[in-house]
Amino acid sequence: MRASIILAALAAAPYAWGASWITSNTVWYDTDGQVIDAHGGGIVQRGDTFYWVGQSAKNSQTPMMYSSTDLLNWKNLGAQAPGVTGYWRPKIAKPNGEFWLFGQQDRYVLSLKSSNQVGGYKQSKKVHIPPSDYSYSDTGMFFDESSNTWYLLTSADHNTVQINKINADGALGDRASALTGGAYEAPGIFKANDTYFLIVSGKTGWRANPNKVFWSTSINGPWKGGSNIAPEADKTYGSQNTHELTIKGSRQTTYIYMGDAWDSKGSTGSTYVWLPMKVDTNGKTVTLDYHKDWKIDVKTGVVTYK
Ligand SMILES: *[C@@H]1O[C@H](CO)[C@@H](O)[C@H](O)[C@H]1NC(C)=O
């Protein structure tokens, strides 16, 4: 009797104590055994801890935060900004002593801030994006270690993906560069050696498409390239880019693609696709290193496969 109850509990929440592998396109559970609900999000690392913020599909796109020290076991830190809903693709920044979230609400970027990393995020202001203040923005975030600068990435009407510096007071500064001439959204940037790589998706609503990578040797552009990061037919393994995470380990630096595998409405059936990337800064190429089950030692940066 007792054994059957335990088995039933395990069947209901097979990863109740965290996962052993990062397995894309499956439901992920937090350390309480609840489905992880943080879509369109991003991750920052502070010390040994990774903080993942994303939009809740269950609760009207309010920002949710989770923390982990291994990218496998995620603890739910709860809703971060009670009362803030319809807040899409939140990303974390820390341009000054305070903690900031930037996400899209009502076709504008809205910034929220808190004096703590976890909790207490309150509306700061509607963000106007220099120079043209175009509406509708997917938000992405990039921290450039070489200049100690945060950059907000937006994709807007008029098919403009642009990169703006976040000033020390949290306000949005000048446009550093832009990617125009194509229908792109969902931007993310990472830097390897002296090359900046910009990953974007096409604009096909909730349906996946072949995401592309552009590159530049300066954050000020121009952006070149535009090759697929996965085989065309695989449509980025059924996902859309949301963020790029760099793990600087003691043995190697590993670059991780974070994508969303949306259901037909970007709703609670949406899952995640996270994969290490093969990066060549001489050839200027980036491809997703697809493996069904993989994990990373965040201390050494070394990736292993099941
Ligand atoms: C960075 O540059 C070094 C030296 O050229 C090279 O060995 C290494 O592969 C490069 N890293 C990437 C990610 O391309």
Closest ligand 1 atom number to CA of residue 193? 1
Contact residues for 290 (Cβ-Cβ < 8 A; gap 6+)? 230, 234, 237, 275
Closest ligand 1 atom number to CA of residue 192? 13
pTM over 0.85: yes
In this predicted structure, what is the pLDDT of residue 280? Answer: 98
Nearest Cα residue to atom 5 of ligand 1: 282
Nearest Cα residue to atom 9 of ligand 1: 280
In this predicted structure, what is the pLDDT of residue 17? Answer: 66
Q: What are 245's strand-pairing partners?
A: 256
CA 56 to the chain's CA centroid: 14
pLDDT by residue (tens digit) across 235-260? Answer: 999 999 999 999 999 999 999 999 99
In this predicted structure, the answer to whether residue 1 has a pLDDT above a threshold of 50 is no
Q: Over range 3-19, report the average pLDDT.
A: 54
**pLDDT top residue among 3 and 41:** 41
User: Contacts from 140-143 at CB under 8 Å and sequence distance 24+?
Assistant: 140/42, 140/89, 140/91, 140/186, 140/187, 140/188, 140/189, 140/242, 140/243, 141/42, 141/91, 141/92, 141/93, 141/102, 141/243, 142/188, 142/189, 142/190, 142/191, 142/244, 143/44, 143/93
In this predicted structure, the answer to whether residue 128 has a pLDDT above a threshold of 50 is yes
In this predicted structure, what is the pLDDT of residue 301? Answer: 98
Please state, in angstroms and rounded to a whole number, the distance separating the CA atoms of residues 56 and 300. Answer: 32
Ligand 1, CB cutoff 6 Å, lining residues:
192-193, 279-281
For residue 223, how far is its CA from the centre of ligand 1 (angstroms)?
20
In this predicted structure, the answer to whether residue 11 has a pLDDT above a threshold of 70 is no
The topology (CATH level 3) of 2-305 is: Tachylectin-2; Chain A (2.115.10)
In this predicted structure, the answer to whether residue 9 has a pLDDT above a threshold of 70 is no
In this predicted structure, what is the pLDDT of residue 257? Answer: 99
pLDDT by residue (tens digit) across 42-89? Answer: 999 999 999 999 999 999 999 999 999 999 999 999 999 999 999 999
> What is the percent of the chain with per-residue pLDDT over 70, rounded to a whole number?
94
In this predicted structure, the answer to whether residue 138 has a pLDDT above a threshold of 80 is yes
CB 36 within 8 A of CB 22: no
For residue 197, how far is its CA from the centre of ligand 1 (angstroms)?
14
Q: Are strands 75-79 and 88-93 parallel, antiparallel or unpaired?
A: unpaired
Q: Is 17 helix (H, G, I), strand (E, B) or coil?
A: coil
Q: How far is residue 193 from each of residues 45, 190, 216, 218, 278, measured CA to CA in Å? A: 20, 10, 12, 12, 14
